A = this chain, B = another copy of it.
Amino acid sequence: MTSPTLGIAMIGHSFMGAAHSQAWRVAPRFFDLPVRPVMAVVCGRDRGRAEAAADRLGWASAESDWKAVLDREDVQVVDICTPGDTHAEIAIAALEAGKHVLCEKPLANSVAEAEAMVSVADRAAERGVRAMVGFSYRRVPAISFARELVAQGRLGRIHHVRAQYLQDWIVDPAAPLSWRLQKEKAGSGALGDIGAHIIDAAQFIVGDTIREVCGTLETFVSDRPLASVHSGLSGTAVDGGPTGPVTVDDAALFLARFTGGALGSFEATRFANGRKNAIRIEVNGSAGSLAFDFEDMNVLHYFDGTDDAATAGFRRIVVTEPQHPYLDAWWPAGHGLGYEHAFTHQAVDFVRAVAAGVGPTPSFADGLQVQRVLAAVEDSAAARAWRTT
């Protein structure tokens, strides 16, 4: 294959790193791409672990300093898979170094950082350098197809959006105080971690933005056993071991009004016992409705309000037809995709946009807008009243 290549550097190599590696590895094998991504280098603070990751995940080399990556001529793309508190610094430096950037969500841990990133991305775009934020669920085919149906006007005027992201991984009070439960590291709890996903997905599907919100946050378990005695946090666990305070939200709920007049109800929680990764989105419009649940990710339920009343009903569309987004690259109808395919589709869209010289979406500006919604929810929860975004 003599097609031109696009050298990728991935910063960070844990959960998201594994997903992104799979995407870069698989995308050119199923999709016709104008340029071929090359897995040039993976970067991690610990050199030994970075090298092991390179070997395991299939990267050609490893680095321990992300700044060194920016000097490499074989790198045209920086793929940021690190925690949110590092995004701004890396993304800004990469863009300024002329590297295209794919940055995991959330764009940043604060609106201010996100604003700075957007500013840099805007200037970079003028030089043909592209930036994208990784709201991968947009590329689940059922969600992409939901967007298509709304864009075609199949739902008419949108009245209702209800979106839930339900997990249960810390419902046990004995679950340890991981870094994700500490505000200084994670920035936010359920709200920023998973609430951000349903905000983006809901706005994407309806093609509209949230104008104002009223929310509440809750931390059900305020102290947890320390994962390590060296963490420097204080307290005593039930079994006598040391505990520390949980400083982020376990759950976040908010009502929303969209610019176009739709009402929204959002809920993100890590305490929905029995729900592992249930992303549920339902949209009701004047001409029809849609419903999705990530627990059955290859299915979209669609109610066509123009069907005659006797035979109308939510259609269980198995989103595996060649007419569906991304599906003609994969298997015959009825053969479902999995979680990581959304990352592959994200890589495909990113590569195509870069090659075509257009701005990929969701842009950094889209990521900033989500950040503003998150901030408005936090403000609203503190004020116990509605806040505009």
Which residues, 135 to 174 on A, are CB-close (under 8 Å) to B?
Answer: 145, 149, 154-155, 157, 159-160, 162, 164, 166-169, 171, 173
Nearest CB to that of A168 among chain B residues? B284
Contacts of A182 in B (CB 8 A): none
Contacts of A168 in B (CB 8 A): 284
A169 contacts which of B157, B251, B261, B333 (Cβ < 8 Å)?
B333
A26 contacts which of B25, B295, B313 (Cβ < 8 Å)?
B25
CA distance A155 to B297 in the complex (A): 28
Contacts of A334 in B (CB 8 A): 167, 275-278, 294-295
A110-118, A212-220, A356-364: which one contacts chain B?
Answer: A212-220
Question: What 0/1 readout, one digit per residue, does chain A (292-322) give for beta carbons within 8 Å of chain B?
Answer: 0011111101111101111111111110110
CA distance A220 to B331 in the complex (A): 26
CA distance A287 to B299 in the complex (A): 22
A50-58, A84-92, A239-247: which one contacts chain B?
Answer: A50-58
A22 adjacent to chain B (CB < 8 Å): yes
- Could you tell me the distance in whole angstroms from the C-beta of A377 to the nearest C-beta in chain B? 11
When the two chains form their complex, are residues A276 and B333 in contact, meaning their CB atoms are under 8 A apart? yes
Q: How many copies does the complex hold?
A: 4
CA distance A267 to B261 in the complex (A): 16
Nearest CB to that of A310 among chain B residues? B323
A257 adjacent to chain B (CB < 8 Å): yes
CA distance A18 to B26 in the complex (A): 11
A339 contacts which of B265, B301, B303, B331 (Cβ < 8 Å)?
B331
Binding site for B on A (CB under 8 A): 1, 15, 18-19, 21-22, 25-26, 29-30, 55-58, 145, 149, 154-155, 157, 159-160, 162, 164, 166-169, 171, 173, 214-216, 218, 220, 251, 253-255, 257, 261, 263, 265, 267, 269, 271-278, 284-289, 294-299, 301-305, 307-318, 320-321, 323-324, 331-341, 383-386
